[in-house]
């Protein structure tokens, strides 16, 4: 039956050499090492534990190195976007800047205010690491290169990300600071709203792939030689926006909105505790980019290129490009107000995501029932979904009044009459906002 | 439950769950009690996994540790007159008595019952089957639950409407 | 069902990343809406008005640099116009045109900061501001050519300007004017059409025209509320009656319209500069004045259109070398009186954006 992915292009059983020096699958080297351990006569559980340890250490090392590199990259890139150079004093071209930052954070005095709850004050920063690292455990970095391939991988990602809300709230509460609590409550409301949209966006992917396993989604994409991005543009956009909100990056960095409530839920944190928040933000960003790459951009496959270039290199390249997208929006876009952000989630993104799920379900049903072949069905679905995305976004925006003339740009009136008055009160909803009704 | 990994995991998770639950009752500060409650939820999720209920475990983390804990925290925070500590009350001795009675009854029943042990055949995927069951055999409870949730959402929106505002979209 | 909530007071400032200086406001919030605002100023009070009574009229010119430190040239100009009224002298032609050129360059430079900081308050992480500061740097280079200082210029003198512009000034100024319209197009495209800036600023901080006139606000705020009032047209000084330009007016009185007015004024400044650089005659640049002029006893009030509004100086002389009374009518201080009307009913995030649109400089608020 054409829908059955096991009759795909057969890339899954391609000519991998399976020797320890075959860099395209680092699991071969690890496997050879484990065989050597077994030959030395170790009991059965030793290779199991050692492989787990190697996985954990590798992921942690990669995350720390990437983070150090990206602190520098982000600041230089944003500097370039702002017509200035960026850090260039510490070390050649400023390359030692992340090290300097880390040393500074370690050496700073970690002040804990007297009325703050000591034990809970520590729980916040520690708990915020948990989601990011746990998500990294299920991402396939390459063929067979993941820490664990859960059967419910996709749902696991969302579930663990929801622990973020607790961490943020505890951090805000434990600071015993009005501003921090205000920031924490705003952040929690934001995170909960956008979690829903993340789940709905991911539903589209799962419906197509037929499984919640991350590896299954990547295999589906490589079997049908298509990236889910082309089949689910609306879901992709919703997921990127929702993820940017979840990890708290601009244009949704309301939790750290400097110009409003100083630093939100981590106002009172200094020294290495703040360093934890800072690091956790980057690690969460990597995790989220990893999810986007795996589920929407084909993971470690690239239409057959992974036979020559190691899959994990492709994966890392795509991940860094997605991260660059986040850096780009941070340098360019201003920040939304919290109520506008929530209105955007509930009134705009949620209906669109629901419609997307319905349409996707209908498409997969048609594909299965009408017994179409993949080569015919998928391009049709891609075109239909892309058109639907454009139509829905424009149509819904018009329906919600985002494109009304009162909300559009205009120019100042140029006049020579001195003393003339051109004032007209702002219309409808604007006035309602001013007097607090809307 | 034959292999050592599962047995070790079971005992660790059980200790975590029961220990945090005891902590919830014993700790002075209310917010710390809630954090311990969250730990207990996570322990229960782990126990679900040892029973090969993968979907339920992840749903437990998502709903309990992620959402219900935040609900409890908000409820504590928004009740201004609630004292933030597990204070002494005069009901301590009756409470302990009652708890002891319940514990004894449950322990007695669980030891005396003849549990029929099922031979588990490995780890199966449960998500697909739960989904099918929800939409075929258990569709009525499913729909009732959705209506209940919808009513709750509408109720909360109605509760926070500013007074005297006109009906909006 | 009524839920009882308690209003709570949030103190913003004086140290805050976005209050444009040491400004403190205590907001009374009901949830996220502001019900009352209490402004506390005076953290930068340097008693300039009293200190000026001990110095000669010419020695007071550097004080005027430091009141509105973002727009020093216009500050100098307002003061020397008042003293010239007292002395009854008229500066030469070339000096009048130089004053116009310097004022318009200063207006452009000050508006780059106002617009850039506004975008920053909306959350755009300094990117628009950094781009606009590029143009400001070039203007400050021109100032350095003319008088040796970039920020506290001390250029105007009683009876003219302190010195003539060097020969390299004109080519540099012409080159700058040639490239500015293209840059303005870039900024307008980047900022005016941006969806997020539109959402953050339309309908926010509305000040109706009658309330604006009643509160004596002036400058881009008044023009943003739709009142076409510009001192350069109403009470022309220097050579403004000889150049042709339009008054830029908004229609809704919200933050977005004030922002539009400032951007349009930047374009008008370019237009005025093009005319002035061509029409400037040769000649002397100052009337010969003694080192410590003693104007006859009397009082004079002069006003100009500074980038922030109507900047006025009220100078009273008693015949001696030092002024008897030296009072600055600072636009930022008077505009702040309308701030509570603009902010009540808005949210905390809007309060910061509205403060940015009022464009205060604490130097002139507190003097």
The ipTM estimated for the assembled molecules is 0.81
Residue C103: pLDDT over 90: yes
| Cross-chain Cβ contact B159/C1 below 8 Å | yes
Residue C223: pLDDT over 80: yes
Contact status of C2 with chain B (Cβ, < 8 Å)? yes
Domain final residue pick, B62, B86, B110: B86
Closest residue in B to A187 (Cα) is B70
Please report the domains of chain C, with CATH numbers, ordered by start residue: 46-366 (1.10.645.10)
Number of DSSP helices (H) and strands (E) in chain C, helices first: 15, 9
pLDDT band at A219, cuts 50/70/90?
A: confident
With contacts defined as CB-CB under 8 Å, which chain B residues touch C33? none
Side by side, the strands of the sheet bearing C298-306 are C298-306, C309-317, C325-329
Residues 308-347 of C with CB under 8 A from A: 345-347
Question: H helices of B51-136, where?
Answer: 54-60, 69-78, 92-112, 127-136
Residue A129: pLDDT over 50: yes
| Cross-chain Cβ contact C3/B163 below 8 Å | no
Contact status of A77 with chain C (Cβ, < 8 Å)? no
**pLDDT tens-place string over residues C243-256:** 988 888 988 888 88
Any domain includes B106: no
Q: State residue A252's pLDDT score.
A: 65
Coil, strand, or helix at residue C56? Answer: coil
Coil, strand, or helix at residue A25? Answer: coil
B18 and B73 share one domain: yes
Any domain includes B102: no
With contacts defined as CB-CB under 8 Å, which chain C residues touch A419? 227-229, 234
| Cross-chain Cβ contact C198/A407 below 8 Å | yes
Within a 13 Å sphere around the CA of A173, how many CA atoms are in the beta-carbon half? 25
Residue A11: pLDDT over 50: no
DSSP string of A349-408?
Answer: IHHHHHHHHHHHHHHHHHHHHTT--HHHHHHHHHHHHHHHHHHHHHHHHHHTTTTSGGGS
| Cross-chain Cβ contact C246/A414 below 8 Å | yes
- Alpha carbon distance B143, C36 (integer Å): 48
B3 and B74 share one domain: yes
Domain around B28? 1-86
Closest residue in C to B163 (Cα) is C2
The residues, any chain, with a CB within 8 Å of residue B125's CB and separated by 6 or more, are A151, B54
| Cross-chain Cβ contact C32/A418 below 8 Å | no
With contacts defined as CB-CB under 8 Å, which chain A residues touch B166? 437
Residues 134-173 of C with CB under 8 A from A: 134
Task: Please give the angle made by the CA atoms of A315, A138 and A60, to the nearest 5 degrees.
Answer: 75
Q: Which of A15, A77, A154, A140 is nearest to A323 (CA)?
A: A77
Closest residue in B to A165 (Cα) is B66
pLDDT band at A13, cuts 50/70/90?
A: very low
Contact status of C25 with chain A (Cβ, < 8 Å)? no
Q: State residue A292's pLDDT score.
A: 92
Q: State residue C315's pLDDT score.
A: 92
Q: How many domains does chain B divide into?
A: 2
User: Tokens 């990437």 belong to which residue?
Assistant: A66
**pLDDT tens-place string over residues A271-289:** 788 888 888 888 999 999 9
| Cross-chain Cβ contact B159/C2 below 8 Å | no
**pLDDT tens-place string over residues C322-335:** 899 999 999 999 99
User: Tokens 């997020």 belong to which residue?
Assistant: C196
B7 and B78 share one domain: yes
| Mean pLDDT of all residues belonging to chain B | 83
**pLDDT tens-place string over residues C224-245:** 888 888 999 888 988 898 898 8
Any domain includes B115: no
The residues, any chain, with a CB within 8 Å of residue A316's CB and separated by 6 or more, are A141
Structure tokens at C323: 């002024």
Distance from the C147 Cα atom to the nearest Cα atom in chain A, whole angstroms: 27
**pLDDT tens-place string over residues A138-196:** 888 877 777 777 888 889 999 988 888 888 888 888 877 766 777 788 788 888 889 98
C233-242 long-range CB contacts below 8 Å, 24 or more apart? C233/A416, C233/A418, C234/A418, C234/A419, C235/C303, C237/C77, C237/C81, C237/C302, C237/C304, C238/C77, C238/C96, C238/C97, C238/C99, C238/C100, C238/C103, C239/C93, C239/C96, C239/C97, C239/C99, C239/C100, C239/C276, C240/C100, C242/C279
- Alpha carbon distance C118, C350 (integer Å): 11
B81 and B133 share one domain: no
| Cross-chain Cβ contact C229/A435 below 8 Å | no
Within a 13 Å sphere around the CA of A418, how many CA atoms are in the beta-carbon half? 9
- Alpha carbon distance A382, B103 (integer Å): 60
Structure tokens at B6: 């599962």
Check: CB of residue A207 under 8 Å from CB of residue A200.
no
Report percent pLDDT > 70 for chain A: 84
Q: Which of C98, C209, C115, C220 is nearest to C159 (CA)?
A: C98
Closest residue in C to B78 (Cα) is C5
B71 and B152 share one domain: no
Q: State residue A10's pLDDT score.
A: 33
Within a 13 Å sphere around the CA of A225, how many CA atoms are in the beta-carbon half? 13
B63 and B138 share one domain: no
Contact status of A400 with chain C (Cβ, < 8 Å)? no
**Measured between CB atoms, which of A120, A160, A438 is closest to B35?**
A120
Contact status of C360 with chain A (Cβ, < 8 Å)? no
Closest residue in A to B61 (Cα) is A159
| Cross-chain Cβ contact B54/A152 below 8 Å | yes
Q: State residue A101's pLDDT score.
A: 85
- Alpha carbon distance A108, A276 (integer Å): 13
With contacts defined as CB-CB under 8 Å, which chain B residues touch A188? 70
User: What mean pLDDT comes out for the span C55-74?
Assistant: 89
Check: CB of residue C192 under 8 Å from CB of residue A409.
yes
For residues A182 and A226, the model is more confident at A226
Measured between alpha carbons, how far is residue A328 from residues A74, A249, C118, C285 in Å? 9, 11, 21, 51
Any domain includes B91: no
pLDDT band at A431, cuts 50/70/90?
A: very low
pLDDT band at A323, cuts 50/70/90?
A: very high
B26 and B79 share one domain: yes
Any domain includes B113: no
B145 and B68 share one domain: no
Contact status of C3 with chain B (Cβ, < 8 Å)? yes
- The pTM score is 0.82
Residue C104: pLDDT over 90: yes
Closest residue in B to C33 (Cα) is B162
Measured between alpha carbons, how far is residue C148 from residues B91, C65, C162, C173 in Å? 83, 14, 11, 16
Q: Helices A45-81 and A311-332 sit at what angle, rounded to 10 degrees?
A: 40
Closest residue in C to A253 (Cα) is C123
User: What mean pLDDT comes out for the span A227-248?
Assistant: 88
Check: CB of residue A2 under 8 Å from CB of residue A364.
no
CATH code of the domain in which B12 resides: 1.20.120.1200
Q: State residue C313's pLDDT score.
A: 92
Chosen from C2, C3, C6 to mutate, greatest number of chain B CBs within 10 A: C3
CA A360, chain centre distance (Å) = 22
Residue B113: pLDDT over 50: yes
| Per-range mean pLDDT, top range of B76-85, C102-111, C355-364 | C102-111
Any domain includes B95: no
| Mean pLDDT of all residues belonging to chain A | 79
B3 and B76 share one domain: yes
Distance from the C34 Cα atom to the nearest Cα atom in chain A, whole angstroms: 9
- Alpha carbon distance A282, A128 (integer Å): 12
Residue B166: pLDDT over 60: no
Q: Which of C84, C109, C108, C111 is nearest to C96 (CA)?
A: C84
Distance from the A157 Cα atom to the nearest Cα atom in chain B, whole angstroms: 9
Residue B43: pLDDT over 90: yes
Chosen from C35, C183, C249, C272 to mutate, greatest number of chain A CBs within 10 A: C249
- Alpha carbon distance C83, C91 (integer Å): 12
B77 and B16 share one domain: yes
B1 and B60 share one domain: yes
- Alpha carbon distance A228, A203 (integer Å): 12
Coil, strand, or helix at residue A421? Answer: strand
Measured between alpha carbons, how far is residue C112 from residues A391, C107, C117, C133, C304 in Å? 39, 9, 8, 7, 20
Residue C319: pLDDT over 90: no
Widest distance between CA atoms in chain B: 65
Measured between alpha carbons, how far is residue C325 from residues C88, C328, C331, C360 in Å? 18, 10, 19, 25
Any domain includes B112: no
């Amino acid at each position: 039956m054409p829908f059955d992915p096991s009759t795909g292009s057969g890339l899954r059983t391609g000519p991998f050499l399976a020797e320890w020096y075959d860099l395209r699958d680092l699991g071969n080297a690890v496997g050879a090492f484990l065989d050597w351990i077994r030959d030395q006569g170790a009991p059965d559980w030793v290779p199991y534990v050692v492989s787990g340890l190697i996985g954990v250490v590798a992921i942690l090392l990669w995350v720390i190195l990437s983070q150090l590199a990206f602190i520098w990259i982000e600041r230089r890139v944003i500097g370039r976007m702002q017509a200035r150079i960026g850090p260039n004093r510490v070390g050649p071209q400023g390359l030692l800047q992340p090290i300097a930052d880390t040393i500074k954070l370690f050496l700073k005095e970690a002040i804990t205010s007297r009325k703050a709850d000591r034990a809970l004050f520590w729980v916040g920063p520690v708990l915020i690491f948990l989601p990011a690292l746990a998500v990294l455990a299920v991402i396939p970095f390459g063929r067979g290169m993941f820490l664990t391939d859960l059967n419910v991988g996709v749902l696991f990602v969302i579930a663990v990300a929801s622990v973020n809300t607790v961490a943020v709230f505890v951090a805000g509460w434990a600071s015993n600071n009005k501003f921090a609590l205000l920031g924490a409550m705003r952040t929690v409301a934001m995170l909960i709203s956008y979690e829903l949209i993340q789940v709905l966006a991911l539903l589209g992917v799962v419906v197509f792939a037929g499984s919640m396993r991350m590896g299954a989604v990547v295999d589906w994409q490589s079997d049908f030689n298509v990236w889910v991005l082309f089949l689910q543009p609306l879901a992709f956009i919703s997921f990127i926006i929702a993820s940017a909100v979840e990890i708290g990056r601009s244009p949704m960095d309301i939790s750290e909105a400097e110009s409003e409530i100083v630093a939100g839920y981590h106002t009172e944190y200094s020294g290495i505790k703040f360093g934890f928040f800072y690091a956790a933000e980057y690690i969460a960003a990597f995790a989220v980019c990893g999810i986007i790459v795996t589920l929407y951009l084909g993971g470690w496959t690239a239409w057959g290129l992974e036979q020559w270039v190691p899959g994990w290199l492709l994966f890392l390249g795509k991940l860094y490009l997605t991260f660059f997208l986040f850096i780009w929006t941070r340098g360019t876009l201003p920040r939304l107000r919290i109520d506008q952000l929530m209105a955007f989630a509930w009134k705009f993104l949620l209906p669109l995501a629901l419609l997307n799920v319905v349409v996707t379900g209908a498409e997969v049903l048609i594909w299965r029932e009408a017994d179409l072949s993949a080569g015919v069905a998928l391009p049709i679905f891609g075109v239909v979904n892309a058109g639907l995305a454009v139509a829905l976004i424009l149509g819904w925006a018009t329906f919600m009044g985002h494109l009304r003339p009162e909300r559009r740009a205009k120019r100042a009136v140029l006049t020579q009459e001195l003393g003339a008055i051109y004032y007209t009160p702002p219309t409808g909803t604007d006035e309602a906002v001013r007097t607090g009704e809307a | 439950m034959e292999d050592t990994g599962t047995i070790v995991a079971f005992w660790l998770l059980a200790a975590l769950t029961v220990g945090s639950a005891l902590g919830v009752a014993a700790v002075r500060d209310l917010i710390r009690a809630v954090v311990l409650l969250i730990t207990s939820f996570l322990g229960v999720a782990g126990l679900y996994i040892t029973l090969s209920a993968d979907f339920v475990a992840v749903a437990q983390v998502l709903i309990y540790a992620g959402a219900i804990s935040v609900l409890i925290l908000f409820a504590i925070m928004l009740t201004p007159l609630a004292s933030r500590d597990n204070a002494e009350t005069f009901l301590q001795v009756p409470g302990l008595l009652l708890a002891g009675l319940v514990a004894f009854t449950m322990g007695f029943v669980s030891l005396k019952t003849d549990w029929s042990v099922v031979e588990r055949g490995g780890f199966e995927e449960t998500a697909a089957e739960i989904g099918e069951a929800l939409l075929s055999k258990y569709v009525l409870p499913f729909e009732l639950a959705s209506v209940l949730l919808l009513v709750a959402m509408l109720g909360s929106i109605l509760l926070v409407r500013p007074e005297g505002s006109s009906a909006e979209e | 069902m009524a839920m009882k909530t308690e209003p709570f007071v949030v103190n913003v400032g004086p140290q805050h990343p976005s209050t444009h200086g040491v400004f403190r406001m205590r907001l009374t919030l009901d949830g996220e809406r502001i019900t009352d605002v209490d402004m506390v100023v005076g953290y930068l009070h340097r008693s300039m008005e009293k200190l000026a009574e001990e110095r000669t009229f010419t020695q007071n010119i550097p004080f005027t640099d430091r009141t509105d430190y973002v727009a020093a040239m216009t500050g100098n100009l307002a003061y020397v116009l008042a003293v010239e009224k007292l002395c009854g002298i008229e500066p030469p032609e070339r000096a009048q045109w130089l004053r116009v050129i310097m004022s318009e360059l200063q207006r452009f430079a000050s508006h780059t900061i106002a617009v850039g900081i506004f975008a920053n308050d909306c959350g755009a992480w300094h990117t628009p501001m950094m781009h606009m500061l590029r143009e400001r740097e070039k203007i400050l280079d021109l100032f350095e050519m003319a008088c040796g200082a970039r920020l506290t210029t001390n250029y105007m003198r009683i009876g003219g300007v302190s010195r003539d512009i060097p020969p390299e000034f004109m080519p540099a100024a012409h080159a700058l004017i040639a490239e500015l319209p293209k840059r303005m197009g870039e900024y307008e495209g980047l900022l005016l059409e941006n969806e997020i800036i539109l959402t953050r600023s339309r309908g926010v901080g509305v000040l109706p025209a009658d309330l604006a006139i009643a509160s004596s606000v002036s400058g881009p705020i008044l023009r943003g509320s739709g009142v076409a009032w510009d001192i350069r047209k109403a009470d022309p000084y220097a050579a403004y009656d000889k150049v042709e330009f339009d008054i830029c007016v908004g229609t809704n009185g919200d933050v977005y319209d004030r922002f539009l007015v400032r951007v349009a004024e930047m374009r008008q400044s370019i237009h005025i500069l093009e005319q002035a650089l061509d029409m400037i005659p040769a000649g002397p640049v100052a009337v010969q004045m003694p080192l410590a002029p003693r104007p006859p006893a009397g009082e004079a009030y002069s006003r100009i259109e500074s980038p922030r509004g109507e900047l006025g100086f009220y100078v009273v002389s008693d015949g001696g070398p030092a002024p008897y009374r030296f009072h600055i009518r600072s636009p930022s201080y008077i505009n702040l009186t309308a701030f509570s009307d603009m902010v009540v009913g808005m949210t905390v995030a809007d309060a910061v954006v509205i403060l940015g649109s009022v464009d205060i400089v604490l130097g002139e608020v507190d003097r």
